[in-house]
Amino acid sequence: MKTKKDLKIAKKKQEIMDTCWEIYLQHGYFAVSFNSISEIIICDRTTIYNYYNSVEDIFIDILENAYSIWLERLKCHFDETTQMTKEEFCAHIVDSQNQITKYFKLLANHIKIIDKKGNPENLIKFSNTIQAVNPIFYKSLTKYFPDLSDTQKNDFIYFWSVITDGMIQTKSFQEKTNYLQYFADPSSDSDTFFYKTLLMFMNNL
């Protein structure tokens, strides 16, 4: 159970994150600073240092929160849906990921600086949050497609990770950016490509 102090800290961090995100959406990444944030929430910039060491750490928290919410929605949908075809399963993954398009865009444009200046512990925590999707997918694949072997399920999860986040360690920075840019661009035909590619892979399992 959270104490009053914990709730107060969480509330202040959320206020900082909301302000950071608002500045980012209106003026861009490099307009975000402790000074610009403090001017909006009316506090001393040193107060922000009580919660964050850098702007990048704020963005990591924003990304982690957004991803966590997406995971919870994904899990709830799979828990509440008794049956799905392969087409429906792949379509839902694509549709649900549209909810975090703006976060893919943030990563696509600024992954290098976030990775360089972000606190390593926070980056590891975010990475673990990303990995939390694996058991959700595994459970849902077992539920809807019981004929799939463990290897086939893991292959699908790995394939999904490769074509969506572009952040696996075997990729160069440029390859990561290209992947993220592709999925962050709502004007492209990425949805159709993503859906067809996932479905094709699943049908070949």
What six digits make up the tokens of 193?
């490509």
* 97: pLDDT strictly greater than 90: no
Class in CATH terms, 1-52: mainly alpha
Q: Give the pLDDT confidence score for residue 191 in this predicted structure.
A: 62
80-84 average pLDDT score: 96
Give burial (CB, 10 Å; 0-12/13-18/19+) of 42: exposed
CA 121 to chain centroid: 17
CATH number 3.40.640.10 is the correct assignment for the domain at 55-203: no
Q: Give the pLDDT confidence score for residue 81 in this predicted structure.
A: 97
155-176 average pLDDT score: 64
CA 143 to chain centroid: 24
Q: What are the residue ranges spanned by the domains of the chain?
A: 1-52, 55-203
111-134 average pLDDT score: 87
186-196 average pLDDT score: 65
∠ CA 54-175-199, rounded to 5° = 110
What six digits make up the tokens of 2?
């959270």
Contact 94, 198 (CB under 8 A): yes
Spatial separation of the C-alpha atoms in residues 98 and 55, rounded to whole Å: 25
For the segment 27-72, what is each residue's pLDDT rounded down to a tens digit? 999 999 999 999 999 888 889 999 999 999 999 999 999 889 999 9
* 157: pLDDT strictly greater than 80: yes
For the segment 121-131, what is each residue's pLDDT rounded down to a tens digit? 888 888 888 88
Spatial separation of the C-alpha atoms in residues 61 and 42, rounded to whole Å: 21
Q: Which residue has the tokens 């919870």?
A: 72
Q: Give the pLDDT confidence score for residue 104 in this predicted structure.
A: 75
| Closest C-alpha to 51, from 13, 18, 15 | 13
Range from 35-44, 140-149, 177-186 that averages highest in pLDDT: 140-149
Q: Give the pLDDT confidence score for residue 186 in this predicted structure.
A: 47
